[in-house]
């Protein structure tokens, strides 16, 4: 694995802080009804993405996840301005404003979408890995899911075929403690989700999802196993979300004290502590990063605010064109 250096720590800090502040801004404009529909935020889970990106080859590896999917495409290289514009429903968004919060997508950057159906992305992730293996490519697919999605039967069907065909895929459960408002302990006899892989003899294990170093190390092993023909891996990233399941979540199922307790192991704070302890940056340099992040978020908001909404014609352009039904004109 590429060595975790001073530069990596500084990049992690800036990236994770930007992702956090980007979504904090989304929460603010959601309350103003500038972003509508559902909005599921990633606050607290940033180390899972930061560590994974360090282990991936972003020139060829793929990623697919559920509907908590705003910062992943940014990490994969998608312009954050386009991501915010998509949430605003603007024509400059990643899907011309037609996907919204739960359906960010970029074929160019190999981010294959957020998916609104719980667990719907699991067989799709394996399918992409199958396509890569069939075509003789050495790409690896990272397939994320939440702790609620592992209750879907499609997970077991997918695990079985992934092992049978030795697909180059890494399945990652982001266990943030609650499937919407229901804890793992209320839905499963065994609360060790990673053990689901044992039934298929799939390499599996728990990972500290609040530490990007640990995430990177475990993801590197899994990715290299997949790339070398060793088949899939199932990792349970034990993490936590500081906000509700979505913006409409009143969070009656947990106490404020519990949230504050988990904030003591905030991945951004942990990375910043290392930077300070190792003298990787001065206070002035850290403040410069903070100001740069704030400026970037403001630029994203300005871009989204000033972009146009899609024209009505686009509604017709986003469906299949049928030769024997010429009554709907298409322009795309």
pLDDT tens digits, one per residue of 64-118: 999 999 999 999 999 999 999 999 999 999 999 999 999 999 999 999 999 999 9
Burial of 208 (0-12, 13-18, 19+ CB in 10 A): middle
Backbone angles phi, psi at 205, to 5 degrees: 175, 165
18 within some domain: yes
- pTM for this entry: 0.95
160 within some domain: yes
The reported pLDDT for the residue numbered 55 is 98
Tally of domains in the chain: 1
Mean pLDDT of 40-54: 98
The reported pLDDT for the residue numbered 331 is 73
DSSP code, position 308: P
**How many CB atoms are located within 10 Å of the residue 311 CB?**
11
165 within some domain: yes
329 within some domain: no
The pLDDT tens digits for 4-44 are 999 999 999 999 999 999 999 999 999 999 999 999 999 99
DSSP code, position 70: S
Residue count (the chain)? 332
The reported pLDDT for the residue numbered 144 is 98
Strands 62-64 and 141-146: parallel
Distance from C-alpha of 174 to C-alpha of 309, rounded to nearest angstrom: 34
322 within some domain: no
Whichever domain contains 31, its CATH number is 3.40.50.970
DSSP calls for 158-216: HHHHHHHTT-SEEEEEEE-SEETTEEGGGT-S---GGGGGGGGT--EEEEETT-HHHHH
212 within some domain: yes
Q: Looking at 264-311, list the stretches that DSSP marks H as alpha helix, in order from N- to C-terminal side.
A: 267-277, 283-306
Mean pLDDT of 178-189: 91
51 within some domain: yes
10 within some domain: yes
Residues spanned by the domain of 55: 6-304
């Amino acid at each position: 694995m590429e060595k975790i250096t001073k530069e990596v720590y500084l990049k992690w800090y800036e990236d994770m802080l930007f992702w956090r502040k980007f979504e904090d801004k989304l929460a603010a404009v959601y309350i103003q009804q500038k972003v509508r529909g559902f909005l599921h935020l990633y606050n607290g889970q940033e180390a899972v993405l930061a560590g994974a990106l360090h282990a991936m080859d972003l020139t060829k590896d793929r990623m697919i996840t559920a509907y908590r999917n705003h910062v992943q495409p940014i990490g994969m290289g998608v312009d954050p301005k386009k991501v915010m514009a998509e949430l605003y429903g603007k024509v400059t968004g990643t899907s011309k404003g037609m996907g919204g919060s739960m359906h960010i997508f970029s074929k160019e950057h190999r981010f294959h979408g957020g998916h609104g159906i719980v667990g719907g992305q699991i067989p799709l992730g394996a399918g992409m890995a199958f396509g890569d293996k069939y075509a003789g490519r050495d790409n690896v697919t990272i397939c994320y899911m939440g702790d609620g999605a592992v209750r879907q039967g499609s997970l077991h069907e997918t695990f079985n075929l992934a092992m049978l065909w030795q697909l180059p895929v890494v399945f990652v459960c982001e266990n943030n403690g609650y499937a919407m408002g229901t804890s793992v302990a209320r839905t499963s006899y065994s609360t060790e989700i990673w053990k689901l892989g044992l039934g298929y003899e799939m390499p599996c294990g728990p990972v500290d999802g609040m530490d990007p170093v640990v995430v990177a190390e475990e993801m590197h092993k899994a990715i290299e196993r997949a790339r070398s023909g060793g088949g899939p891996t199932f990792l349970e990233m034990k993490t936590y979300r500081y906000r509700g399941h979505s913006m409409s979540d009143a969070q009656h199922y947990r106490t404020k004290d519990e949230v504050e307790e988990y904030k003591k192991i905030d991945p951004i704070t942990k990375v910043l502590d290392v930077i300070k302890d190792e003298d990787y940056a001065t206070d002035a340099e850290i403040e410069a990063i903070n100001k740069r992040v704030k400026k970037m978020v403001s630029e994203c908001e300005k871009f989204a605010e000033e972009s146009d909404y899609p024209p009505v014609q686009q509604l017709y352009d986003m469906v299949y064109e049928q030769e024997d039904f010429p009554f709907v004109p298409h322009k795309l």
